[in-house]
Every structure is written in structure tokens, then in C-alpha cells.
Structure 1
Amino acid sequence: MARFRHLLTAFALALLLAPALARAEAFLSAYEDLPLPPGLTEAVGSGMSFDSPSGRIVEAYAHGAAKPADILKFYAATLPQLGWARANDRLYRREAEVLRLETTQDRAGVTLRVTISPE
């Protein structure tokens, strides 16, 4: 039921906020209402998602040529529109979930690790 509510909320917000979310090129497959910043592609099969008694646990990865600062700016502008409250540049909360953003950079580009877990 909570998953359906999140999906319905995301759909409604996407319709209302389409211009702001237009920069998103894709959404994570493991978490249907989390957009990917331009320049990143999900590393399909490298993450995981499951429901636990205390809530959903998600780990997903994306890789690309975006700059870490641009990734954080994208999420600072986008996540509050999807109901996530910003605690800091890399930590957001919504209802009883915590979303964490981690970036690592090497010569091949930037890897984004997104984790969502119960609070």
C-alpha cells in the first residue's frame, strides 16, 4: 500500500511539476519515483531492492560523465518536489525513509550510489 501511495504521489507531482522534472532523463528501476540526473545511466543489476519488516531497503548505482556537484544540485532541486526533506547535500528524509547520496569519481567518470532505508 505504501509503495502504491508513493507511486501515485510521484505521478501526481510529475504532472504538476513536469517542467522542473523535465531535466531528468530516466528514473531508477529499483525505486520508481527517483529520477536520474542528466548524464547518468543506471547500472542495472548492480543494486538491490527488498521490503523488510521495518520498510523498504534500496541500493542502486548509476554512472556517467556528470560532475558530483551537478548531481547534488540536481537532487537539491528535484527531491523536495517529490516530498523529500533535505537534511544536508547528501541526506534526505521522507515519511519513515532516509535517502543517501554518495558519489565517487575516477578517470572513467562518476559513480552515484543511492541508498534508501527505513529511518
Structure 2
Amino acid sequence: MARFRHLLTAFALFLLLGSGSARAEAFLSAYEDLPLPPGLTEVAGSGMSFDSPSGRIVEAYAHGTARAADILKFYAATLPQLGWTRESDRLYRREAEALRLETTQDRAGVTLRFTISPE
């Protein structure tokens, strides 16, 4: 039930942000209600998701030309609307899960690593 509620919230958020500057371009395939910021696309085949006895574990990557500061600003604006509580620029919590955002910069752009794990 909570998963359905989050999916509906994500869809409403996608519609709401569709005309704004912080428009979500897509959602992660490994975690259906986690939007991708403009300028990033998911790295195909790089993610994994499985259920453990203590909860779901997800790791996924996105890459693109967005600036790391803009990525973190995007998530600071969108994740609370999806039920995530901001602990820091790179750490969010929702229900019994923690979401960690890690960015690395190279000549080709920025890579964003998503890690979701049970608390």
C-alpha cells in the first residue's frame, strides 16, 4: 500500500514539475518513484535491486552533464514531496530506508550513485 502511495505521489510530482525548471526527465528503473534530474540518464545495466531479510537494497547509477550542485538542489526540492526526510545534502530517510547520493566528476560529466538500504 505504501509503495502504491509513493508511486501516485511520484506521478503527481512528475505532472507538477512538468512545466517548471526542476522537471524530472525520468525515473530510476530499479526504484520506481525516484526521479532523475534534468541532464542525467540512468546508466543501463549498472543497477541492482534485491530484497534482504531486513528490507530492500538498491544501487543504481546515472550519468550526464548536470552540475553536482544542481543535482543536490533538485533532490532537496523533490524528495521531501515524495515522503523523504532530508538529513543532509546527500542523505535522506523514508520509513525504514536510507537514500544516499554520491557524485563524482570527471571530464565526461558527473556520475550519480544512488544507494538505498534498510535502516
Shorter-chain TM-score above 0.5: yes
Question: CA offset at residue 65 of structure 1?
Answer: 0.4
Q: Which runs of 5+ in 1 are unaligned?
A: none
Greater alpha carbon shift after TM alignment, 9-18 vs 85-94: 9-18
Match of 1:66 in 2: 66
1:20-99 map, 5 Å: 23-99=23-99
Greater alpha carbon shift after TM alignment, 47-56 vs 60-69: 47-56
Distance 1:100 1:20, change over 3 A: farther
Match of 1:110 in 2: 110
1:77-103 alpha-carbon deviations (Å, 9 max, x no partner): 000010000000000000000000000
d(CA) in 2 for partners of 1:52, 1:36: 25
SS at 1:80's partner residue? helix
d(CA) in 2 for partners of 1:91, 1:23: 21
Question: CA offset at residue 52 of structure 1?
Answer: 1.2
Root mean square deviation of aligned Cα: 2.0
d(CA) in 1 for partners of 2:21, 2:56: 24
Say whether the 8 Å CA contact 2:86–2:93 is kept in structure 1.
yes
Greater alpha carbon shift after TM alignment, 44-53 vs 104-113: 44-53
Distance 1:18 1:114, change over 3 A: same
d(CA) in 2 for partners of 1:43, 1:67: 17
What is the aligned residue count? 119
TM-score by length of 1: 0.88
Q: Which runs of 5+ in 2 are unaligned?
A: none
Identical-residue share of aligned pairs (%): 87
TM-score by length of 2: 0.88
